[in-house]
Each structure stands twice: as C-alpha cells, then as structure tokens.
C-alpha cells in the first residue's frame, strides 16, 4: 500500500517579520506522522491554517537559535498541550541550546510535571542523523561565525551552531539550507537532490545562479524571502541566467508524493 508524503512551507519570510508571511517553518508528513522543521514567528498559526492537527506532530527539529527559526517553539508546545496530547514529543536542538531551553520552559510555566506528555530534548551536532520512517542528517554551516569576536569578548558560552538539513523520505531527497554565511556553505551539498530549499538573504545570488547550471537538481525553491521588490529582483536574475526549475516559496506551498 502506498504511503503519502508531503513537505509544506509554513513560513517563508526572512528574519524581518512580514504581515503576509510567517518566518521559518516547514512540515514533513510521512504517512500519519508530522515532523516540524524550524519554528519561527507565525508558524503555529500557519500550521493550523493548513488544517493540520497538533496531536499528530511527533518531533521537531531546530536548525539554529535565531528568533526567526525558534522563537515560536514554546507557543507550539503550548498548542500541542492544549490540543490534549498524551504521547511523548521529541525535540532536536543544537546541543548548545538544550540546557538554556530546558531552564526556559518552566519560566513560561511549561512545567514538565504539569504536562500530560513527556518532552524529550535531544542535543545534536554536525553529522547527526535521525533515521526512522525518514532520514534527516545535519551538516554544520558558518552562519553564526560572525559572532565569534563578540562572544569571546563577552565570554559567552554560545558555540555558533547552525545546520543545514538533508531529508530523504519516500524516495525523495530534500535539502534545506536554513541560514548560511555564504553560498560556499552549501555549494558542495546541492547536487542530485529532488528539491533544494535555499535561503536568499545571505548568499550571492548571481554566484548561485551561475553554479546552478553545473549540477542536477529537480527544483530550486527560494525561501527566507524579503520584500516583493527583492523577490522580483531574484525572479529577474533567474530569468537572466535561464534557470527554469526555480520557484519562490510561499506560505502554504506544498510538495506531495507517494511511495
């Protein structure tokens, strides 16, 4: 019997919040199970708008701890609680964030002893692999390295952990760049995927579009988008370079397949 899969964009905005877009959030559906990838502002509302049930979310993966990728995680947990969840919830966080988030939850009255379900916080590093009904692997990138001098000067414990995710489910391969420092962070990881979700805020777009001719990708989805004017510029550049397998992400965009 065929199993249904989907990958849905819940939030496609850049880090500057926009009225018409949520910030970063994506949803992988594998059969009856849901996995959330990043949880920025507006993601909980976008999730409900698409008709999904909070009690069907089995796990959450966070790429890094900028607010536009993790800021709504506490609210998402509260939504799951209010929906009457009983089964455990697995949350995969950059290792540097596990202890801070574990301390933060009771400050928001998300107290483990009160919740009717168990929350399992797992810290991960670059090279981590989740392997069950789908496979997700994490590759570290340099997005947060610009903080190095400031962190050293202030003697802060941050480890500048940010990750791209490679997801293989039902015979399809999806690469999600998350945020990066430059195109060099992902250049060697794009070839051969069915879908590449690539952020537009921190890359040299012309460098990417020139390179896109050299590799085999089914479809590029440009995400982490800014103003309509910025989106129009990206579209014009793609046309200039003759890239016809490229689309702009939109909240609610869905890729569906069976295997």
- 83-87 mean pLDDT: 94
**Tens digits of per-residue pLDDT, 36-74?**
999 999 999 999 999 999 999 999 999 999 999 999 999
Instruction: Please give the average per-residue pLDDT across 113-141, as a whole number.
Output: 97
Is the Cα dihedral 226, 227, 228, 233 positive or negative? Answer: negative
Helix%, strand%, coil% for the chain, nearest 5: 30, 30, 40
Dump strand ranges (E) for the chain: 4-11, 25-30, 33-39, 57-61, 89-94, 119-124, 129-131, 135-140, 163-169, 172-176, 195-199, 219-223, 246-248, 254-258
pTM over 0.85? The answer is yes
Lateral strand order in the sheet of 57-61 = 119-124, 89-94, 57-61, 33-39, 25-30, 4-11, 254-258
Q: What does pLDDT average to over the chain?
A: 97
Q: Does domain 4-258 have CATH number 3.40.190.10?
A: no
pLDDT for 132 equals 95
pLDDT given at position 150: 98
Q: What is the DSSP letter of 41?
A: T
32 Cα distance to chain centroid: 20
Is residue 119 a contact partner of residue 102, using CB atoms and an 8 Å limit? no
CB 28 within 8 A of CB 51: no
Q: pLDDT digit string (tens) for 147-183?
A: 999 999 999 999 999 999 999 999 999 999 999 999 9
Has residue 1 got a pLDDT over 90?
Answer: no
Per-residue pLDDT of 199-212, as tens digits, reads: 999 999 999 999 99
Average pLDDT rounded to a whole number, residues 101-113: 97
Mean predicted confidence (pLDDT) in 81-85: 95
Percent of the chain with pLDDT over 90: 99
Coil, strand or helix: which one is 157?
A: coil
Candidates 167, 11, 184; CA nearest to 92 is: 167
Tell me which residue of 11, 151, 145, 137 sits closest to 67, measured CA to CA: 11
Average pLDDT over residues 127-143: 97
Give the residue-averaged pLDDT of 4-19: 97
């Amino acid at each position: 019997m065929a199993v249904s899969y989907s990958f849905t964009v819940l939030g496609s905005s850049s880090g500057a919040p926009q009225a018409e877009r949520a910030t970063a959030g994506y949803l992988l559906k594998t059969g009856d199970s849901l996995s959330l990838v990043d949880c920025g502002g507006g993601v909980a509302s976008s999730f409900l708008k698409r008709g999904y049930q909070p009690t069907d979310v089995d796990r959450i993966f966070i790429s890094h701890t900028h607010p536009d990728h993790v800021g709504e995680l506490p609210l998402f947990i509260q939504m799951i609680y209010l929906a009457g969840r009983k089964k455990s919830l697995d949350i995969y966080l950059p290792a540097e964030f596990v202890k801070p988030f574990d301390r933060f939850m009771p400050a928001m009255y998300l107290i483990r002893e009160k919740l009717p379900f168990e929350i399992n916080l797992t810290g991960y590093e670059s090279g981590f692999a989740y392997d069950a009904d789908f496979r997700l692997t994490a590759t570290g990138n340099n997005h947060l390295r610009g903080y190095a001098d400031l962190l050293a000067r202030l003697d802060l414990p941050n480890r500048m952990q940010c990750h791209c995710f490679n997801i293989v489910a039902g015979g399809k391969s999806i690469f999600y760049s998350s945020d990066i420092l430059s195109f060099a962070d992902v250049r060697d990881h794009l070839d051969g995927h069915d879908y590449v979700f690539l952020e537009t805020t921190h890359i040299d777009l012309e460098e990417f579009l020139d390179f896109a001719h050299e590799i085999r990708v089914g479809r590029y989805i440009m995400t982490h988008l800014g103003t309509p004017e910025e989106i129009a510029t990206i579209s014009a550049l793609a046309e200039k370079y003759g890239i016809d397998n490229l689309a702009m992400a939109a909240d609610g965009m869905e890729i569906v397949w069976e295997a």
